[in-house]
């Protein structure tokens, strides 16, 4: 696969980055595509990309989205007449 194909595959499924060659794990766009789905994907990036400001900002944004989603899931649902 070429780099574009890897990026597309990772954008569909972040887990593809685990098996990607170093060239792909060193590609900022591919890493960000994975991080947007799962912040933990940062672990598969090469060191230079892990330290990139844009990548780290994306990890923070993705983590915030995940926290909000978890919080929404843990909130008690309001009971409405339709929910009985």
Segment 39-49, tens digit of pLDDT: 999 999 999 99
Note the pTM of the prediction, 2 decimals: 0.77
Return the higher-pLDDT residue of 67 and 33.
Answer: 33
What tokens appear for 29 in the block?
Answer: 């766009």
Q: Is the pLDDT confidence value at 84 over 60?
A: no
> How far apart are alpha carbons 38 and 55 in whole angstroms?
13
Distance CA 27, CA 7 (A): 9
Q: What is the chain's Cα-based Rg? A: 17
DSSP H stretches of helix in the chain: 3-12, 22-25, 28-37, 47-50, 53-74
């Amino acid at each position: 696969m070429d780099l574009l194909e890897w990026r597309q595959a990772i954008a569909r499924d972040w887990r593809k980055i685990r098996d990607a060659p170093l060239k792909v794990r060193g590609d900022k766009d591919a890493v960000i595509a994975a991080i947007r789905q799962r912040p933990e994907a940062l672990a598969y990036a090469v060191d230079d990309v892990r330290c990139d400001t844009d990548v780290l900002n994306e990890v923070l944004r993705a983590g915030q989205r995940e926290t909000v989603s978890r919080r929404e899931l843990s909130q008690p649902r309001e009971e409405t007449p339709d929910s009985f």
